[in-house]
Structure formats: C-alpha cells, structure tokens
Amino acid sequence: MDSFSIKGGVPLHGEVTISGSKNAALPILAATLLTDEPCVLRRVPDLSDTRFMVQILKSLGASATFENGTVTVHAKKITGFADYDLVRKMRGSICIAGPLLGRLRKARISLPGGCIIGARPINLHLKGFQALGAKIKIDGGYVDAVAKKLIGAVTFLGGRAGSTVLGTANVMMAATLADGVTVIESAACEPEVVDLANFLIAMGAQISGAGSPTITITGVAKLHGAEHEVIPDRIEAITFAAAAAATNGEITIKGARPDHFRAVIDKLNEANVLVERSGANLVVKRKGKLKSVDVTTMPYSGFPTDAQAQLMSLLTLAPGISIITERIFESRFMHVSELTRLGADIEIEGPSAIVKGGKPLSGAPVMASDLRASAALIIAGLAATGTTQVNRIYHLDRGYEQMDVKLKQLGARIQRVEE
C-alpha cells in the first residue's frame, strides 16, 4: 500500500484549483443509466471511486470512456444486476439502484462497502422505493427491488441523523420515470443533490424544490441524453483551507463555491482564519493567533461531518479548549488516536472530542482509517516538525484528485512512497 512521507513545518503558499465533486459525480454517473442516449459529463474527478463507478456502468452493459475529466456514457442496453466484486468496494455504488429500478423496473445490487465510519443503513432508500410500489427482498448479501409499475407517492426520508443524501438521490432518480407525482419530504438539501437534479432536468426530468426539504418530481415517459459539468468539491476546498491555516500559510483557492460551505467559513473566521473573495477566487490565511472554537456536525447547511476531522487537526494548534461534537456518524473519531501520536491532546467523551490545543505537533508514523481521516493526518503532518509517514492512503485516493501533486505546488515537502 502506498503512503505519504511529509516533512512538515513549511507554510503553504500559492494557488490551487479545486476538482469536481466526488459526492456529486457518483450519483450523476449513475443517472446516465436512466436513458438509452449518450451523456457527457465534464469536470469528473479522476479518483478510484469514480473509476469504480465507470467500471460498474460498463459491467451493466453501458459503454463508457473517461479521459481528461470528461466521461461519456451510452447505456443503450443494460442489465439490472450489479456485480458484488465491484459494488462492495464503495458505498456510493448503491446509487445505481434508483436508475435501474426507474428504467428497468428491477435492480439486483450487492450491499455496498466504503469507509468504516459507523452505521450507514440503506433502509431509507428501500423505504422510498417501496413507496413507489417496488417489492424489496434482501437475501445472500443482495438487495432485490422489483416493480411491475412505479407510481408517484409521498415519502418521508428523514432519519435519526437527519436526511439521507444518497437516499434522496436514489428515490429522486427512480421517480423521474414513475407515473404521476412523487414528493420527497425531509429531503437532503446538499449542493450535490441540487447538482444531480440539474442534470436530471437537463435530461428532461420535471423536478422542483431541489435544495429544500421538499422535492417534487413529476414522472415522464422517457429521458434523453444530456451534457453537464459537475460542481466543484466543497470538501476539497475546505481541506486546503484548513491546511493553509494549519501551516500559517496563505493560498488562493480557484474554482471553489463558498456558498456551498458557509458554515465552515464561519467557523474558520471564528478560529481567526480569514477566508475572503478575491475576484472569482478565495484567499485563505490566518488573521493572527489561532483561537479555539466549538463545532457540531449537522446536515446541510450546517457544519459537514466530512470536514470534522480536518478542522480537528487545525484546532490541535489553537490555544485553549475546542469541543467537536459528531452528530452524523458514531464512529468518526478514529483519527483521534493517530493525531495523539503526533502530540495532540484530545479526549473522547461520548459524541464529543475535547481538543486541548496549542501544543506543537511532531512527526510520527500514522495510519489512515478512512477518507477524511487521511486528509486530517496530512494536515497535521504538514504542520508538525519532523517527518510524518501517513500509511494506507488508498483511502485518500478515493476522494482527493492528485492531492500530493497539488500540495507540492503549494510548497509542501510531500512524497508518495509506492509499495
């Protein structure tokens, strides 16, 4: 497994361009299964997850090419069976269920894998499919969804940790080809859901309310091919902002959408980190000494769980006590033990991490447990003295496009060690 070797203590300076959003690209790639006409998607990040999704589309019978950030898919004839060996590798693959059910009225999909960050059941996806008239059977690690006919319905997709993003996407995609009107209550409001809705509308779907808790879909008989550009990755932008602040550097972030992460910008400002517009770009730098802040993760438009680990790395450097409370996933503090290996002083109390910041970090070998934990350890390594070895970076390659290359361009002393 590859690792990163980081010689820390160098402030980041320069410009970085944000890639397309992985979390938007995956359901949009899946949505190409809804039509038998060609679709062209631009600004698709070249990641192991997006590559896996293209493989899944091909395994279902679609033709697909992926070159220079552009994916062209033609799903003229497809099957409703998704292979276990592909689907098990990534949780996002579950979003092919909605398009298959919508177009073929049947889907057989292996239960998906992904990062181990806590329970992420698909019961709300299945609840939405059942509301549309599908019969669901789970057997031998597979989900079978079959419907003679899909009928529009009202369905509530709120869960104990808030709305389900992929569940909203799945039901919305299936409903585009259902008879009548479907209303999704307690729908996820994330920008990635809006981006998917915009692509579906470009394909001829009738959707209103995306970005609000109530989405209305009026089914159509057929969808056609379309072209679409994926939104920039807000979590990547947040990660680079945290890295700049942690190293006491100053960077210009190009291509980001600050309206997609206002809650994070607010917390960075509170921590004495300046994030300001410069034309179409964002400039990030410290305003002075870092300050401790309290953070609670919430569904959009609150502070995202996907940015919690990165901010924690930054707050280990802020004098005082910061309290980070995780309300979305119960196992998303696995990076804490690795941060303490670098000298961080963090204690876990129930759903909260108590960060006693202000102590210097020093390099050490650490192990990444999931995608965002990988980013957090890299940020800490960039700020630490000495050398930090971040192992198991295959997690990172799932969600960040050429992160080591981009960091080098900002002056970081980081090397990929291939094994």
Residue 118 has pLDDT above 70, yes or no: no
Question: Residue 112's pLDDT is what?
Answer: 66
Lowest-confidence segment of 117-121, 148-152, 262-266, 337-341 by average pLDDT: 117-121
Question: Residue 114's pLDDT is what?
Answer: 44
Question: Residue 113's pLDDT is what?
Answer: 52
Closest CA to 299 of 191, 372, 190: 190
Residue 117 has pLDDT above 50, yes or no: no
Q: Catalytic site residues?
A: 115
Residue 161 has pLDDT above 90, yes or no: no
Residue 369 has pLDDT above 70, yes or no: yes
pLDDT tens per residue, range 163-214: 899 999 999 999 999 999 999 999 999 999 999 999 999 999 999 999 999 9
Domains and CATH numbers, the chain: 3-19+232-417 (3.65.10.10), 22-229 (3.65.10.10)
Residue 160 has pLDDT above 90, yes or no: no
Q: In sequence order, what are the residues at sequence separation of 6 or more whose Cβ sits closer than 8 angstroms to the Cβ of residue 128?
A: 155, 157, 167, 170, 171, 174, 184
Tell me what the mean pLDDT of segment 243-248 comes to: 98
pLDDT tens per residue, range 209-228: 999 999 999 999 999 999 99
Instruction: For 323-369, give the DSSP string.
Output: EEE--S-TTTTTTHHHHHHTT--EEEETTEEEEEE-PPPB--EEE--
Question: Residue 76's pLDDT is what?
Answer: 97
pLDDT tens per residue, range 273-301: 999 999 999 999 999 999 999 999 999 99
> Contact 126/143 with Cβ under 8 angstroms?
yes
Question: Residue 383's pLDDT is what?
Answer: 98
State the amino acid at position 36 in one-letter form.
Answer: D
Residue 45 has pLDDT above 70, yes or no: yes
Tell me what the mean pLDDT of segment 259-278 comes to: 97
Q: Which letter does DSSP use for residue 123 in this model?
A: H
- Looking at every residue in the chain, the average pLDDT score rounds to 94
For residues 361, 367, 368, 374, the Cα torsion angle rounded to the nearest 10 degrees is 30
Residue 415 has pLDDT above 80, yes or no: yes
Lowest-confidence segment of 84-98, 146-160, 204-218, 286-300 by average pLDDT: 84-98
Question: Residue 331's pLDDT is what?
Answer: 66
What CA–CA distance (Å, rounded) separates 386 from 362? 6
> Contact 87/110 with Cβ under 8 angstroms?
yes
* SS (HEC) of 228-262: EECCECHHHHHHHHHHHHHCCCEEEEECCCHHHCH
Residue 342 has pLDDT above 60, yes or no: yes
Helix (H, G, I), strand (E, B) or coil at 396: helix
Phi, psi of 217 (to 5 degrees): -125, 120
